[in-house]
Structure 1
Amino acid sequence: MRPFWLNQALETMPEPPAPPLDRELRVDVCIVGGGYTGLWTALELRRQAPCLSVALIEADICGAGASGRNGGCVLGWASKYPTLQRLFGDAEALRLVAESERCAAEIGDFCREHGIDAEFRHDGTLFTATNRAQQAAIAPLMDGLAERGIGSFAALEAAEVQRRSGSSCHRQGWFSPRAATVQPAKLVRGLRRVAREQGVELFEGTPLRALERGRPARVITPGGRIVAERVVLATNAWMARLFPEFRRTIAIVSSDMVITEPAPEALAATGLADGVSVLDSRTFVHYYRSTPAGRLMLGKGGNTFAFGGHVHDLFDRPSRYREPLSRRLAAFFPSLAGVPLAASWTGPSDRSVTGLPFFGALPGHANIVYGLGYSGNGVGPTRMGAKLLSALVLGQDNAWSRSPLARGPLGRFPPEPARYLGSLMVRNAIRRKERAEDRERRPRPWDDWLAGFAAAAGKSDKLAS
């Protein structure tokens, strides 16, 4: 099953699949993975070093993974500043927040320059609290950021939050203008087109079967092989299945989404008039935004966990959480309760221990580099990832190649089955805790304690972006 966004993109941007690899090919750089990370990296390499030959292989079609099925929210890292500062120090944390907030404008500029109709809307984002517990948890962070001039969030009065969000559920909120929304599959399909126009050799329907490490490296596929001086591994959630050394560096978690049929008049009546994205302050957040056609998309992370880091077939089906999401949509927007849902779907998110992506080279093989672990916030940060990966491929000495993000994973999850069983225990505790908080009741101490592990493991993101 193709998710809603990808079906829509394929209908409006019809291009036949690129042929699979059926021969031996020699190139300077081979990229494995045709999502945002792989395509942005291919484009960055062609921009910086147009003399390099670049080939990209994709197991399915470009955008079939998380890049074609996320919520389309282009968000920065200001809310991650405390984690960045703790791990990397103040200077690098400030640099990464600033870089992350530039990504929305850069994506908009790229779409305009190359004629990509990705429904880009640079209307900002609202980070909100819907109960007292969320207010108590998030207000100190946002107040601290504002006092230090970090990021671009500013507090709004409750009435203004409710007006901009279109919902009276929000009791407090902070707005950043340096965020955007896109139709995610149209963006990735647009990147695909531009990459081919700029000389990247693309092979779809070409899964990686084996990687012979060395210099040159050999990328083995069912119908051929690519001999490459340098290799970029950009398969994200699928890395754990392809390379055993990454199985404990990420946990595969779903984000589930629904989208309504077009109802522009009913949506406009709520006050949600532009492309602002709205995210509450739960551990596994609700996020929503409108589309130019008058649809409303709503999602929630942290539902399905994959045993052993394998992206199984539940991630390619309509969401099992369609009904709870429909009820939540009606709670946010009672006037939209009667608007039919057009689709539901599920996406895989590769969550790292820190909640931040990590990059590096395979041990002993500096010519084979990787990047993954975007933890549900990838639409904007994959632009940064491409800059870092390009610096590693090109052997540059700059702020990206020296970044602590390039040191590989900064932690590992417990082995199975402890990781899977523990994830379910923590998820269920979070659900009980948040139900109590929604009723303005105190959670049970046991649930509070268990839920704390999610925050410690950087699991407070979603597949909104």
Structure 2
Amino acid sequence: MTQETLPFWLAEALAREQPADPIPLGQHIEADIAIVGGGYTGLWSAIKLKQQDPALRVVIIERALCGIGASGRNGGCLLTWSTKYPSLRRLFGEQEATRLVQASEQAVFAIRDFCQHHGIEAQLRLDGTLYTATSPAQQGGMAPALVALEQAGISRWQSLSPEEVQARAGSKAHLAGHFSPAAGSVQPALLVRGLRRVALALGIVIHEQTPMTRLVHGARPLLETPLGSVGADKVILAINAWLPRQCRQLSRNLILVSSDMVITDPAPERLDALGLRDGISVVDGRTFVHYYRRTPAGRLMLGKGGNRFAFANRLHPWFDRPSAFAADLRRRLDGFFPSLADLPIAASWTGPSDRSATGLPFFGHLEDHPNVLYGAGYSGNGVVQSWMGGEILAALALELDNEWRHCPLARGPRGQFPPEPIRWLGANLVRRAILRKEQAEDEGRPVPSWARHLARLADAAGKADKG
């Protein structure tokens, strides 16, 4: 990937940072803990490990640049697990579900405080999030989660009138909605590059342009790279969408799906006129949601998940190219904001999102290899959740006796997808059913029964690809 084809956020962050050329690992080194992957999960894990024990020798190797993966190209929406409370309660019980929802909300403010303390200028704005309905069929879609949160006494959500929703969202396309203040937005690549700077200041060794070519298991695992190697007591695989390729035992626990985004030229006065004056993130009620937000510079970013599924979880070249669905996103942007139809699109990009069967991330160690840990499955909602992933992986690596090490998310994956080609065929069949169903709902037509039944298969994993 060249500088010209970098995702918009990362190109912007690197232009501001002007980093020195990366130094690939060129020899054998030793570490207490070696981490593969220089994104949010790897960097948060490393930082939390050093905070627990400053004497630890922690090494990160990254195949390209820190932030080149999902951490530097996501939508930058800081969202929580509150809308997943019913699923969390069903899977883990009321007490742990409550703890995880509250922990995810606390993490939003913990990330803000971390950035303020360490001087990370990541354009982080905690102006909340707005979940909306854009068709009558979507209205009431949040009711089960909201009722359950209210019954548990942990709801931060506020119901808004249609007029309030349209004013906050800047668009009359929204018919109803709910607002939570425990959310916001961030320039994701500025955040990950800021975490890299803090990690280096803590004494964490980072080697970019250093892909892992082989993992040799043993009492002390060995990470082999093109020009060197790392021996460590424990290894953390923080590679998310790249995990199925490295660990066959987890290949059926994830499915790779694209998330596509566009961003406009700056037009701050025009966005002000629409009412888009802060960093609120707006998410509609579709299964594969549309989400958008304003940047401080007055650009409008809009994204959508679920456009493509990768056969056999292959990392196709189209994950690293401008979005093939930019025209569809342009039409959706114009549908939300007809007055911006002449506003040029500055860039589009795409990336792989690793979806789990539950829509929740999972963490653990490889079978028969307790000294090799992993975390993955953020399902398009990982900006905040990777902060908690770092807590879990640090607790597992150090064998701490705390709530993160004993968290049910730290017990490996739950549920599998079918083998190929059934997985790919089934995913695309369900996707087509969802599109047919939602198109009929948008147009006020009856939904074909086959589309309605197939679309329900996506409900277990919840709404997709916002973070």
- Sort the TM-score into its range (normalised by shorter chain): over 0.9
Query: How far is 1:244 from its partner?
Result: 1.2
The answer on 1:111 being equivalent to 2:115 is: yes
- 2:147 and 2:268 map into 1 onto residues whose CA distance is 35
Aligned partner of 1:412 among 412, 416, 419: 416
- Structure 1 window deviating more from structure 2 (349-358 vs 164-173): it is 164-173
Partner of 1:324: 328
Q: Does 2:243 align with 1:239? A: yes
In 1, Cα distance between the equivalents of 2:70 and 2:266? 24
Question: How many Å separate the matches in 2 of 1:250 and 1:411?
Answer: 9
Query: Which residue of the partner structure matches residue 19 of structure 2?
Result: 15
Decide whether the 8 Å contact of 1:76 with 1:100 is kept in 2: yes
Alignment of 1:180 onto 2:184: yes
1:149 matched to 2:153 = yes
Match of 1:386 among 387, 390, 404: 390
- 1:158 matched to 2:131: no
Residue of structure 2 equivalent to 1:120? 124
Distance (whole Å) between structure 1 residues aligned to residue 49 and residue 144 of structure 2 = 41
Which structure 1 residue ranges, 5 or more long, are not aligned?
none
Show CA shifts across 1:119-155 (max 9, x none): 0101000011111111133234324423432331111
Q: Which segment drifts farther, 132-141 or 328-337?
A: 132-141
**Offset of 1:459 from its aligned partner?**
5.0
Which deviates more from structure 2 when the two are superposed, residues 289-298 or residues 244-253?
244-253
Tell me how far 1:273 sits from its aligned partner.
1.0
Instruction: Indicate the residue corresponding to 1:369 in structure 2.
Output: 373
Q: Which amino acid aligns with 1:161?
A: V
Amino acid at match of 1:304: R
Q: Aligned letter for 1:389?
A: L
Matches within 5 A, 1:72-221: 72-221=76-225
Distance across 1 between alignment mates of 2:183 and 2:140: 24
**Quick one: distance in 2 between partners of 1:325 and 1:154?**
29
Give secondary structure in 1 for the equivalent of 2:370.
Answer: strand
Distance 1:39 1:381 in 2: 13
SS for the counterpart of 1:51 is coil
Match for 2:185: what amino acid? Answer: T
Say if 1:17 and 1:87 are closer, same or farther in 2 by CA, change over 3 A.
farther
1:429 maps to which of 424, 429, 433? 433
Match of 2:464 among 441, 461, 464: 461
Q: Which residue of 2 aligns with 1:352?
A: 356
Matched, 1:315 2:319: yes
TM-score by length of 1: 0.98
Distance 1:151 1:348, change over 3 A: farther
Distance 1:104 1:402 in 2: 22
Deviations 1:214-238 (A, max 9, x none): 2211111111110000111100000
- Are positions 1:56 and 2:35 aligned together? no
Contact conserved, 1:57 with 1:204, CA < 8 A, in 2?
yes
CA distance in 2, matches of 1:91, 1:373: 23
Scaled by the length of structure 2, the TM-score of the pair is 0.98
2:129 and 2:218 mapped to 1: Cα distance? 45
**How far, CA to CA, are the matches of 2:362 and 2:440 in structure 1?**
35
Q: Tell me, what secondary structure is at the counterpart of 1:348?
A: strand
Q: Distance in 1 between matches of 2:269 and 2:249?
A: 51
Displacement, 1:440? 2.1
1:282-317 Cα offsets, whole Å, 9 max, x none, are 100000000000000000110011011122111001
* SS at structure 1 position matched to 2:75: coil
Residue range with higher mean Cα deviation, 285-294 or 167-176: 167-176
Q: 1:143-175 CA deviation, whole Å, 9 max, x = no partner? A: 442343233111111111111111111111111
Q: Which amino acid aligns with 1:152?
A: R
Conserved 8 A contact 1:17-1:204 = no
SS in 2 for 1:338: coil
Q: Which runs of 4+ in 1 moved over 3 A?
A: none
**Mapped partners of 1:132, 1:329: distance in 2:** 20
Q: Which blocks of at least 5 consecutive residues in structure 2 are unaligned?
A: none
> What is the Cα deviation at residue 429 of structure 1?
0.8
Q: Which residue of 2 aligns with 1:27?
A: 31
State how far apart, in whole Å, the 2-side matches of 1:405 and 1:148 are: 21
Q: Larger deviation: 441-450 or 29-38?
A: 441-450
Q: Paired residue for 1:262? A: 266
Mapped contact 1:59–1:204 kept (Cα < 8 A): yes
Percent identity at matched positions?
A: 55
| Cα distance between partner residues in 1 of 2:139 and 2:200 | 47
Residue correspondences, number: 463
In the alignment, the residues of structure 1 paired with residue 130 and residue 8 of structure 2 have an alpha-carbon distance, to the nearest angstrom, of: 24
Query: Which residue number corresponds to residue 43 of structure 1?
Result: 47
